[in-house]
């Protein structure tokens, strides 16, 4: 293909891989060992001059583009003013601006408060801390196939053993796993799946929160049956249990709405966010009901870098970009283009997803691995996921040019056929 100058990975990438092996922990993996030199809209350009079509957005992060000009300008301006004070030492306006925007954008018209953090796992941990403090209860309920991060508490919440949990225990206690909704495999309606989930919760009066990804990410891009999330939300409300939406992967226009909960009008008590929030800068947040978040004593939440001013400036620019370019509409256009093509493929167990979060479930991890390898060799970055590793997922930048999306899909189709 004309976009490729060398085999993948090329000689310069292979040389860097050699150096990497002598310096970087072997436990840190890479999907595709090409070293990136720079990015262009919808493309990653590697150190050998190969131009790869990006259908991964660095795991749903660079939805607004990479580089996104407005984000880049905001970062330059902020880093020239100051790079850090620690909000817990001396505050700055950008942090407050981000919290105000999140209060507007997250589901529900109630009074809200936010805390800013650095990573998705840290956001989920803080949502659990807040829920436990506000309810005085210890229990945390999570679903089959869940992914919530790699810290000790969030590993307890994450379902998949290899590679995430294997050998890293013991894990945090009081985390209870119940079945979710996986329409392809359980055949249940949303209401039936929700009844099955809550029936597996032994002592609701000891549960602080139920934590759900409104569309499961690493677990396989599993879209729950309609009605599942609303029924779960109703059950939580009637049992004094807080509903925490882990929107780390689904948030910020990825699914064609600001948040995936919006589609069914579900209003969580707390929302955990990260990935797409700041155009590639590390930022995360928990936004939730003011009475719940403010139950925590002063000084109980925070961290040295949480809500770093450069990351906040990037987030404000990214949020402006999402609104100005109407990236919710862009995500819906991507779905309208890509999902019918995925659905028409042979030998696919299911094509599914929403917005620019799309996937095909294949027969086995072995098949998915071969399809992904064929895409990589042809210069298209796709990722796999799924508890069984048998799902190919697409997370294109929301600003991907039409012709690059079409070309990427051609390659994927060819690989599957």
Ligand X SMILES: *Cc1c(COP(=O)(O)O)cnc(C)c1O
- State the residues that interact with ligand X by CB under 6 A: 119-121, 124, 147-149, 213, 217-218, 246, 248-249, 274
- By C-alpha distance, which of 316, 312, 275, 295 is closest to 121? 275
Nearer to ligand X, 221 or 235 (CB): 221
- By C-alpha distance, which of 288, 214, 195, 209 is closest to 241? 209
CB of 93 vs ligand X, minimal distance in Å: 25
H helix intervals, 158-227:
183-186, 190-199
Task: Please name the residues in contact with 167: beta carbons below 8 A apart, sequence gap of 6 or more.
Answer: none
CA distances for 325 relative to 17, 253, 319, 320, 405, angstroms: 38, 11, 10, 8, 18
Nearer to ligand X, 57 or 119 (CB): 119
CB of 160 vs ligand X, minimal distance in Å: 12
Structure tokens that stand for 338 in this block: 């890509």
CB of 124 vs ligand X, minimal distance in Å: 6
Distance, in Å, from the CA atom of 348 to the CA atom of 357, rounded to the nearest integer, reads: 17
CB of 218 vs ligand X, minimal distance in Å: 6
CB 212 within 8 A of CB 272: no
Nearer to ligand X, 248 or 368 (CB): 248
Nearer to ligand X, 198 or 215 (CB): 215
CB 322 within 8 A of CB 348: no
Helix axis angle, 309-324 relative to 93-105, nearest 10°? 40
CA angle (107 as vertex; 104, 111 as ends), nearest 5: 55
Nearer to ligand X, 144 or 218 (CB): 218
Question: Residue with structure tokens 């292979």?
Answer: 14
Nearer to ligand X, 9 or 219 (CB): 219
End-to-end CA distance of the chain: 18
Residue nearest to ligand X (CB): 120
CB of 123 vs ligand X, minimal distance in Å: 7
Nearer to ligand X, 124 or 322 (CB): 124
CB of 364 vs ligand X, minimal distance in Å: 23
Nearer to ligand X, 48 or 246 (CB): 246
CB of 57 vs ligand X, minimal distance in Å: 12
Nearer to ligand X, 124 or 411 (CB): 124
Nearer to ligand X, 56 or 120 (CB): 120
Helix (H) or strand (E) holding 413: helix 402-416
Nearer to ligand X, 13 or 57 (CB): 57
CB of 394 vs ligand X, minimal distance in Å: 15
CB of 272 vs ligand X, minimal distance in Å: 7
Encode 238-255: b = buried (16+ Cβ within 10 Å), e = exposed.
eeebbbbbbbbbbbbbbb
CB of 77 vs ligand X, minimal distance in Å: 25
CB of 252 vs ligand X, minimal distance in Å: 12
CB 95 within 8 A of CB 315: no
The helix/strand/coil state of 397 is coil
Query: Using the 8-state DSSP alphabet, how is residue 35 labeled?
Result: P
- By C-alpha distance, which of 285, 284, 149, 150 is closest to 217? 149
In 217-291, beta strands by DSSP E:
242-246, 270-273, 284-289
């Amino acid at each position: 293909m004309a976009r490729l100058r060398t085999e993948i990975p090329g000689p310069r990438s292979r040389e860097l891989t050699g150096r990497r092996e002598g310096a970087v922990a072997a436990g840190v993996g890479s999907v595709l060992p090409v070293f990136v030199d720079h990015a262009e809209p919808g493309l990653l350009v590697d150190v050998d001059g190969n131009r790869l079509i990006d259908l991964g957005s660095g795991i749903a992060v660079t939805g607004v583009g990479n580089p996104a000009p407005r984000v880049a300008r905001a970062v330059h301006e902020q880093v020239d003013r100051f790079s850090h004070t620690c909000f817990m030492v001396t505050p700055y306006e950008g942090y407050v601006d981000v919290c105000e925007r999140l209060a507007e954008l997250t589901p529900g018209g109630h009074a809200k408060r936010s805390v800013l953090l650095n990573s998705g796992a840290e956001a989920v941990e803080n949502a659990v801390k807040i829920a436990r403090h506000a309810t005085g209860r210890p229990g945390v309920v999570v679903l089959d196939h869940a992914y919530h991060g790699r810290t000790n508490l969030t590993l307890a919440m994450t379902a998949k053993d290899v590679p995430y949990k294997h050998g890293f225990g013991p894990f945090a206690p009081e985390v209870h796993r119940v079945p979710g909704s996986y329409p392809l495999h359980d055949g249940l309606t949303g209401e039936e799946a929700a009844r099955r989930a809550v029936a597996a919760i032994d002592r609701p009066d000891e549960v602080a929160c139920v934590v759900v990804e409104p569309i499961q990410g690493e677990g396989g891009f599993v879209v729950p049956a309609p009605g599942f999330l609303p029924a779960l939300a109703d059950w939580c409300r009637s049992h004094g249990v807080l509903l925490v939406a882990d929107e780390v992967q689904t948030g910020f226009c990825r699914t064609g709405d600001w948040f995936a909960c919006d589609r069914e009008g579900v209003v969580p008590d707390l929302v955990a966010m990260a990935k797409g929030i700041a155009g590639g800068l590390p930022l995360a947040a928990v936004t939730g009901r003011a009475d719940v978040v403010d139950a925590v004593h002063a000084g109980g939440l925070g961290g040295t870098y949480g809500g770093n001013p450069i990351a906040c400036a990037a987030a404000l620019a990214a949020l402006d970009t999402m609104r100005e370019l109407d990236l919710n509409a862009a995500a819906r256009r991507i779905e309208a283009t890509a999902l019918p093509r995925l659905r028409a493929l042979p030998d696919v167990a299911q094509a599914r997803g929403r917005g620019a979060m799309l996937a095909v479930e294949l027969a086995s991890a072995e098949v998915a691995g071969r399809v992904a390898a064929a895409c990589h060799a042809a210069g298209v970055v796709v990722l796999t996921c799924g508890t069984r590793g048998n799902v190919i997922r697409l997370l294109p930048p929301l600003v991907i040019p039409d012709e690059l999306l079409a070309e990427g899909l051609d390659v994927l189709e060819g690989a599957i056929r």
